[in-house]
């Protein structure tokens, strides 16, 4: 079967261009530029790269940003105090807490400290709860970006079998909520697989739409999927590769060649979901700025 490669970079560029125009219009109406406060704890190179990419994207769309680089020796009490300062600062619209955190800092406890109106990642229990009951909210950026890809490529979800593999709070679980909700981008019969799922293939083979977010290279292979499936590979894995200049290459969770052979549409890694995550963060930050001034208008 010949497949269509889902070009996340192209779609993200279109969305970012639109956000740039919206930000200009927002400023032209007499408002200050939206502002994002990023929090980077420790020296994890991948986290550093992600924060740099996000702050670069901010600059391109006209959002101001600042990054607090904090040593990983910070206590949970000190980190909560830092977040409280950002909560009270009216010049900050969105707070980005780059995950993962060092082991002694429990992400859910820190996230709970954040003002949910500044939670542009959509991780706060208030925002997750609103998502679950179908209320307007900040939606987690990666699954929200995937829905934008569906919109762009006219991939409908209504009545389809959607299978999500991986049940994290930031990708898999909110993705399953979005797909199963009674709204325009949902209405799919949704299965959420996790590491205790018995016989993963038995579920995956039923999928019209397959979303994989585990962090395990080659977890999904061609024989596990059905002909014509739409595949969204969220995984980002560094795999050793002596022929690559850096000694490694980035792959997803799917064995691309064998899965693509049976797919109708599939995302590449890199260049699929990643750019959409960043674009959605920009969108949420602009929304946070608007909501802070017009809370009723931008629900």
| Active-site amino acid positions | 54, 98, 121
Stretch that binds ligand NAP, among 22-30, 55-63, 209-217, 222-230 (CB under 6 A): 209-217
User: Shortest gap between Cβ of 275 and ligand NAP (angstroms)?
Assistant: 8
280: which DSSP letter? H
155: which DSSP letter? -
Stretch that binds ligand NAP, among 106-114, 192-200, 224-232, 258-266 (CB under 6 A): 192-200
- Beta strand 237-240 pairing with 248-251: antiparallel
Euclidean distance between CA atoms 241 and 253, whole angstroms: 16
Q: State how far Cα 128 lies from the chain centre.
A: 14
User: Shortest gap between Cβ of 231 and ligand NAP (angstroms)?
Assistant: 14
Contacting ligand NAP within 211-230 (CB under 6 A): 213-216
Euclidean distance between CA atoms 286 and 18, whole angstroms: 11
**Which residue(s) pair with 195 in the sheet?**
none
Q: Does 171 interact with ligand NAP (rule: CB under 6 A)?
A: yes
Q: Does 168 interact with ligand NAP (rule: CB under 6 A)?
A: yes
Q: Is 148 helix (H, G, I), strand (E, B) or coil?
A: helix
Q: Using CA atoms of 130, 253, 270, 281 in order, give the dihedral in degrees to the nearest 10.
A: 10
Q: How far apart, in Å, are the Cα atoms of 277 and each of 31, 147, 235, 241? A: 26, 11, 13, 26
Six-digit token pair at 259? Answer: 């899965």
Site track for ligand NAP across 265-284, x = CB under 6 A: --------xx--x-------
Q: Does 62 interact with ligand NAP (rule: CB under 6 A)?
A: no
Q: Does 131 interact with ligand NAP (rule: CB under 6 A)?
A: no
Residue among 98, 263, 230 nearest 160 (CA): 230
Choice between 74 and 146, CB closer to ligand NAP? 146
Choice between 268 and 274, CB closer to ligand NAP? 274
Q: How many residues bind ligand NAP (CB under 6 A)?
A: 24
Residue among 176, 149, 185 nearest 273 (CA): 149
User: Shortest gap between Cβ of 75 and ligand NAP (angstroms)?
Assistant: 23
Six-digit token pair at 237? Answer: 């894995």
Stretch that binds ligand NAP, among 27-35, 87-95, 131-139, 161-169 (CB under 6 A): 161-169
User: Shortest gap between Cβ of 100 and ligand NAP (angstroms)?
Assistant: 8
Considering only 12, 110, 114, 236, the residue that binds ligand NAP (CB under 6 A) is 236
Choice between 225 and 236, CB closer to ligand NAP? 236
Q: Give buried/exposed letters for 219-244 (b at 16+ CB in 10 A, else e).
A: bbeeebbeeebbbbbbbbbeeeeeee
Six-digit token pair at 212? Answer: 């994989």
- Beta strand 229-233 pairing with 263-266: parallel
Q: Does 234 interact with ligand NAP (rule: CB under 6 A)?
A: yes
Considering only 120, 131, 167, 207, the residue that binds ligand NAP (CB under 6 A) is 167
Name the site residues for ligand NAP (rule: CB under 6 A).
Answer: 142, 165-168, 170-172, 193-195, 197, 200, 213-216, 234-237, 273-274, 277
């Amino acid at each position: 079967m010949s497949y269509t490669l889902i070009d996340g970079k192209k779609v993200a560029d279109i969305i970012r261009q639109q956000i740039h125009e919206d930000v200009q219009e927002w400023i032209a109406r007499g408002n200050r530029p939206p502002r994002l406060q990023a929090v980077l704890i420790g020296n994890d190179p991948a986290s550093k790269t992600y924060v740099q990419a996000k702050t670069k994207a901010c600059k391109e769309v006209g959002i101001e940003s600042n990054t607090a680089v904090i040593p990983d020796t910070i206590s949970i009490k000190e980190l909560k105090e830092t977040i409280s300062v950002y909560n009270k600062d009216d010049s900050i619209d969105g707070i980005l807490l780059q995950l993962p955190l060092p082991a002694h800092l429990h992400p859910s406890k820190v996230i709970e400290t954040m003002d949910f109106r500044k939670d542009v990642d959509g991780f706060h229990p208030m925002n997750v709860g609103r998502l679950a009951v179908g209320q307007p909210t900040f939606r987690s950026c990666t699954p929200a970006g995937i829905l934008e890809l569906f919109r762009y490529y006219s991939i409908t979800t209504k009545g389809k079998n959607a299978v999500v593999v991986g049940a994290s709070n930031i990708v898999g679980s909110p993705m399953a909520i979005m797909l199963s909700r009674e709204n325009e981008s949902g209405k799919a019969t949704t299965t959420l697989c996790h590491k205790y799922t018995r016989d993963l293939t038995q579920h995956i083979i039923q999928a019209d739409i397959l979303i994989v977010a585990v962090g395990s290279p080659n977890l999904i292979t061609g024989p596990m999927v059905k002909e014509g499936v739409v595949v969204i590979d969220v995984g980002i894995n560094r795999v050793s590769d002596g022929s690559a200049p850096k000694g490694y290459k980035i792959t997803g969770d799917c064995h691309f060649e064998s899965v693509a052979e049976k797919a109708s549409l599939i995302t590449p890694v890199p260049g699929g979901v990643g750019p959409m995550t960043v674009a959605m963060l920009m969108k949420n930050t602009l929304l946070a700025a608007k909501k802070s001034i017009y809370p009723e208008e931008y629900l």
